[in-house]
Amino acid sequence: MRLLKVATCNLNQWAMDFDCNLKHIKDSITRAKEVGAVIRLGPELEITGYGCEDHFLELDTVNHAWECLKEILLGDWTDGILCSIGMPIIRGSERYNCQVLCFNRKIVMIRPKMWLANDGNYRELRWFTTWKQKDQLVEFQLPPEISEALSQTSVPFGYGYIQFLDTAVAAEICEELFTPNPPHTELALNGVEVFLNASGSHHQLRKLDLRLRAFIGATHTRGGVYMYSNHQGCDGARLYYDGCSCVVVNGEVVAQGSQFSLKDVEVVVAQVDLDAVASLRGSISSFQEQASCKTKVSSVAVPYNICKPFNLKMLLSSPQKIMYHSPEEEIAFGPGCWLWDYLRRSGSSGFLLPLSGGADSSSVAAIVGCMCQLVVKEIANGDEQVKADAIRIGNYADGKFPTDSNEFAKRIFYTVYMGSENSSEATKTRAKVLADEIGSWHLDVCIDGVVSSLLSLFQTVTGKRPRYKVDGGSNVENLGLQNIQARIRMVLAFMLASLLPWVHNKKGFYLVLGSSNVDEALRGYLTKYDCSAADINPIGSISKQDLRTFLRWAANHLGYSSLTEIEAAPPTAELEPIRSNYSQLDEVDMGMTYEELSVYGRLRKIFRCGPVSMFKNLCYKWGATLTPSEVADKVKHFFKYYSINRHKMTVLTPSYHAESYSPEDNRFDLRQFLYNARWPYQFRKMDELVQEMNGDRVAFKETGEDGGTAAGGGGMGVVAAASGDPKAGF
């Protein structure tokens, strides 16, 4: 038996904080060595942090990374252990995203990334070049100060692997695993048994399974030990990197780290038998045949044994059941951990949330409550860093620290119900009850006086006073009156966030939390610069349907029972007067349901449908209950309001990214914000299709022939499976 102990890790790095990042790297190497690991894998670009973005274009960033690497190599960190460390490197005039493989205080090899992530949230081609010379390793001249310090002038650079005396090890960096022809296929045929995947992968609801299946598939049919390392936490932007570092052997997970955690460093260790890899490969005839005629990959020889012989005291890591969180848990823990990182790194003293008693703001409140529970739990488990951060933020003294989540919430969380004459007693009560359950410092503020003052000023300036629609006013007046209330709440929220800590003799300021969801942003069902305008928004790319499911879960699992009543209440903005024959409802105002909005959003973004393609697909999905004309009207209605409100995305509060159809304008969904909202060409094409379909329906009725309903032709196959299941294909 060739026994090998390996360690991979989740690191909570912070972009451009080299002291923080270097400390975590050293800590992870120390922990790996303490348990006897001989390979340590860290996440992609771990020295700089993954989210540096245009800072990667600065020479300082690359230089500081070299300085940090030098400090690691001059110490005893890499003695007896192969360390894969991620950093940017400039070779000639090109900048590469690299894994630097170090062993015994020397750089053994530098592996540049060959296929870059360049879609969705990723823009690696903006900062890095792909390595294209796959046929050879080239010599890379180390920077003079590094060369002098290490007594090493050059190092092999490029695509290849490390050949130890008893096994072969290679890097496969993040995106490369997900390409049509991933490097591990060719490397396995060349005898590589251990694969090191350094990654920077963000959390997205229901995404983890896709990632794990890729690791399992990589080694299931070709054998091997696949190590995966990832960032974990908020490194300075909208993404939460969700860890889950793991080790997979021959298609089975033998070690898995947490997906959501407040820890800065988590090391995942496994002991594996490499003979099991050789045995599997030797039993597959096709593997043998393809290996015999493989394309040769360059290698670097390291005359050292890293495996241990058979020893009963060394227990092998056994296959384990993969840990998956439910979507409701993901909504609680992902944004909760993201908020904690933002809170402790921003210098603020807590959060302020306008709490309306509705589903969205109550979801945000529950997530903050979950964050407080996680902090108290982690302190009880002995995490000194979380304890130190909580003592500082909560302004504890005399050796005290949080032991109760409600008491901690009272110190760092303000909730404010800003009611008006249009608000109901029910929402006011629900907000107060939820605040008490969470433990927040709750305020009840009436904004009628401020609204009246503004209207009096308007009347003095113009001689007119607007009225609500139910009182005989026009749509323009009605909308203007609603916007006044919404924007006053935003101004009051920021004023309270900056001054309430002072009122209570606390240091710092509070971060204002937003609470608009992804569906409302897509439709534009929010006022520009209302309570959606905040410092950060933990639910900004979560759908209304997922949030309602989360509220039901949180009522039972977080202990906030009032959320059950909140979830059951019909969504309403409460910006218009309540009358015996009229009550404002969100879905009526929008002219569509939240379920429909979710469908539109997925077709628009995930399936890249314009108006005509969306119409065709929805004819298949909704054709059993709606006529083509009715489907066309719905699609036109959506695109009209999507386009006239797209400008709101340019000022959308930075939001936690959790959904693949997020309309977020600044990073993820790059589209114009000035449209011809009439869509004349596209809508005309839809009208022509409706006429054709109506003609076909008439012909069908006259002949009685069944033309068939099989989907897939004419480019309309996206929702082909949707006839039986209302959510199929979405």
589: Cα separation from own chain's centroid: 30
Is 174 labeled as catalytic in the residue annotation?
A: yes
In Å, how far are 337, 375, 418, 563, 630 from 442, measured between CA atoms?
Answer: 23, 21, 11, 17, 46
Secondary structure percentages of the chain, helix, strand, coil, to 5: 45, 15, 40
- Angle (deg, nearest 10), helices 327-346 and 384-394: 60
Torsion-angle region of residue 250: left (phi > 0), alpha (psi -120 to 50) or beta?
left
Tell which residue, 495, 555, 486, 494, has the closest CA to residue 516. Answer: 486
CA atoms of 594 and 585, how far apart (whole Å): 12
Question: How many helices (H) and strands (E) are present in the chain, helices listed first?
Answer: 23, 20
Q: Look up residue 719 and give its two tokens.
A: 């929702």
CA atoms of 31 and 9, how far apart (whole Å): 10
CA atoms of 261 and 336, how far apart (whole Å): 9
Beta-carbon contacts of 514 under 8 Å, excluding residues fewer than 6 positions away, are 364, 531, 532, 533, 534, 535, 536, 537, 540, 653, 655
- Alpha carbon distance, N-terminus to C-terminus of the chain: 48
Is 113 labeled as catalytic in the residue annotation?
A: yes
3-state SS of 272-303 is EEHHHHHHHHHCCHHHHHHHHCCCCCCEEECC
Beta-carbon contacts of 217 under 8 Å, excluding residues fewer than 6 positions away, are 251
Q: Which of 5, 33, 113, 605 is catalytic?
A: 113
Q: Which of 20, 174, 234, 372 is catalytic?
A: 174
Q: Look up residue 259 and give its two tokens.
A: 């997906």
Tell which residue, 381, 433, 719, has the closest CA to residue 562. Answer: 433
Q: Three-class SS of residue 641? A: helix
Neighbours of 63 (CB within 10 A): 13
Q: Three-class SS of residue 232? A: strand
Q: Calculate ∠ Cα 328-332-337, nearest 5°.
A: 145
Pairing of strands 350-354, 510-512: parallel
Neighbours of 710 (CB within 10 A): 10
CA atoms of 249 and 269, how far apart (whole Å): 13
Is 44 labeled as catalytic in the residue annotation?
A: yes
Q: What element of type H or E holds 425?
A: helix 425-438
3-state SS of 139-155 is EEECCHHHHHHHCCCEE
CA atoms of 497 and 530, how far apart (whole Å): 15
In Å, how far are 116, 149, 174, 197, 730 from 388, measured between CA atoms?
Answer: 38, 36, 33, 33, 44
Q: Three-class SS of residue 500? A: helix
Which own/partner contact pairs does 408-411 have at CB distance under 8 Å and 24+ positions apart? 408/372, 408/375, 408/376, 408/439, 409/368, 409/369, 409/372, 409/438, 409/439, 409/440, 410/439, 410/440, 410/441, 411/350
Q: Which of 356, 543, 655, 662 is catalytic?
A: 356
What DSSP string runs through 572-583? Answer: ----S--BTTB-
Q: Which of 5, 9, 44, 664 is catalytic?
A: 44
CA atoms of 276 and 278, how far apart (whole Å): 5
The answer to whether the beta carbons of residues 692 and 637 sit under 8 Å apart is no
Q: Calculate ∠ Cα 362-367-371, nearest 5°.
A: 145
Catalytic residue numbers? Answer: 44, 113, 174, 356
